[in-house]
Amino acid sequence: MRWFLIIVILLPVTLQAQSYKVRKTCMGNGAYAIVVEHDDQFFVVETPIYFQRSWGIGEIWGINLGGFSTLSYVDDAGGPNQMDVRVLPRTQWKYAGLVGAISVCRQVTQAGFR
């Protein structure tokens, strides 16, 4: 019965986390960003804290629209958390694919573009 409860509680979080995958983390000059893969597309997301690659993303509201959003995630302790983030719109930053997203991720954190 215990295992059933653990599986029922953790399974939805595990399935949701698979739709978002952190491909790269960037940091520098007090800025943090991650490259997230979602539905075979790559997005650069600025975060207020360093986002660990082992954390699972549950949802990023309005990721396709860009702009300010809420990121729901599960950290190493297993607790659900949320943070306010900014998704950099691809139309403004002109990036495509993983290589372009990583380049923008580095540019945002190293050069301090806001």
| Tens-digit pLDDT profile for residues 83-104 | 999 999 888 888 889 999 999 9
How confident is the model over 41-55, as pLDDT tens digits?
999 999 999 999 889
pTM score, two decimals? Answer: 0.79
Cα separation, 45 vs 71, in Å, equals: 10
Burial class (CB in 10 A: 0-12, 13-18, 19+), 94: exposed
Q: Give the integer Cα–Cα distance in Å for 34 and 91.
A: 18
Q: Could you please report the per-residue DSSP string of 50-98?
A: PPPTTSEEEEETTTTT-EEEEEEEE-TT--EEEEEEEEEPHHHHT--HH
